[in-house]
Structure 1
Amino acid sequence: MAASPSFDIVSKVDRQEVDNAFNQAEKELATRFDFRGTGTVVAKSGEAFTITSETEERATAALDVFKEKLVKRNISLKSLDAGEPRQSGKTYKIDLKVVEGIESDKAKAISKKIRDEGPKGVQAQIQGDQLRVTGKKRDDLQAVIALLKQEDFGVALQFTNYR
């Protein structure tokens, strides 16, 4: 008999789709008439992004454009950590970071939820920045997935390696 059924709970982002959303937002900011002459730019440095503009309103509007492009590419906004607009000299900046992985406190909350409200005989183990859920029956695992989809843990969750 094979090992007991299991699946992994992860929080990952397709980096190529994030880059595509960044490129689309960059093009839209360059061509839209309401951004002309405002010095509004989206810049990428490593894994982080920075939105720069002459006014706070235009910086916030540029952030909305970037979020819109992420949503169109099926990237959850829970994966985007956007700072508050801050003044830097004569310009306003917003720092953005794409978050991957499940932090340990959120992983503990997910594990506790499975333990408290999930079917009997289902265990969740924290493995780095992901969780492995095992159980006796596949139906129990599907019940756990349904339970977790109803709850908001503040992270974009994906369910992988369902065996």
Structure 2
Amino acid sequence: MPSFDTVIEPNLVEVRNAVDQTAKEIGTRFDFKGSSAAVELADKQITVYADSDFQIAQVKDILVAKLSKRSVDARFIDSSAKIEKIGGDKVKQVLTVKSGVDTDSAKKIQAAIKQSKMKVQAAIQGDTVRVTGAKRDELQLAMQLIRKTVPDAPVSFNNFRD
């Protein structure tokens, strides 16, 4: 029976390269001279250090530009964490690299497929959603539906079996 897996997986090598390029650009830019602006990656978490909220925003802009140059979707970066003060006038923000379909999105995908009355089934398997159906055309329509259902996450489809 034809099937595919819906996943959210960034290219972590390209994410590391983008973080390294961002750190290099911070070191060479004139507006960051003498500041404590820095960026580091550790286990799917990018930590941005700076002297002010404005500088954190600038560093994040540089990071997003470097990610887009390396064909990594900016939606992989979750910047909803608050900016924390870390002593003196320094601040930091922890950005999380999204990986795997979270349970809310998986349930939303499963409900949308059920409501669409397509002849496909969706099953949540850990951090992926497996969609199975009788025809390839139905699966392709399901892919379009999933992209519309979860616009805030960069979903991709792999393990397509015919």
* Map of 2:129 onto structure 1: 131
- Is the aligned partner of 1:36 residue 2:33? yes
* Structure-2 separation of matches of 1:117 and 1:10: 20
Q: What SS class does the counterpart of residue 149 from structure 1 fall into?
A: helix
AA aligned opposite 1:142 = Q
> 1:144/1:118 Cα in 2 relative to 1: closer, same or farther (>3 Å)?
farther
* Map of 2:2 onto structure 1: 5
How far is the alpha carbon of 1:153 from its aligned partner?
4.8
> 1:45/1:146 Cα in 2 relative to 1: closer, same or farther (>3 Å)?
closer
Given that 2:100 and 2:128 are in contact with CA atoms closer than 8 Å, whether structure 1 keeps it comes out as yes
AA aligned opposite 1:28 = E
* Map of 1:147 onto structure 2: 145
* Structure-2 separation of matches of 1:152 and 1:73: 23
- Is the aligned partner of 1:26 residue 2:39? no
- Is the aligned partner of 1:77 residue 2:74? yes
* Structure-2 separation of matches of 1:32 and 1:117: 52
> 1:45/1:138 Cα in 2 relative to 1: closer, same or farther (>3 Å)?
closer
How far is the alpha carbon of 1:45 from its aligned partner?
3.1
> 1:8/1:58 Cα in 2 relative to 1: closer, same or farther (>3 Å)?
same
* Map of 2:84 onto structure 1: 86
Q: Extract unaligned runs of 5+ from structure 2.
A: none
* Structure-2 separation of matches of 1:88 and 1:150: 40
Q: What SS class does the counterpart of residue 50 from structure 1 fall into?
A: strand
AA aligned opposite 1:45 = A
TM-score by length of 1: 0.90
AA aligned opposite 1:131 = V
Given that 1:49 and 1:95 are in contact with CA atoms closer than 8 Å, whether structure 2 keeps it comes out as yes
TM-score by length of 2: 0.91
* Structure-1 separation of matches of 2:124 and 2:144: 19
Q: Extract unaligned runs of 5+ from structure 1.
A: none
> 1:133/1:9 Cα in 2 relative to 1: closer, same or farther (>3 Å)?
same
- Is the aligned partner of 1:58 residue 2:55? yes
* Structure-1 separation of matches of 2:117 and 2:11: 29
Describe the superposition over 1:43-77 as per-residue Cα deviations: whole angstroms up to 9, x where unpaired. Answer: 23333221111122111111111121112222222
AA aligned opposite 2:2 = P
Q: What SS class does the counterpart of residue 160 from structure 2 fall into?
A: coil
AA aligned opposite 2:139 = L
* Structure-2 separation of matches of 1:44 and 1:56: 19
Given that 2:109 and 2:150 are in contact with CA atoms closer than 8 Å, whether structure 1 keeps it comes out as no
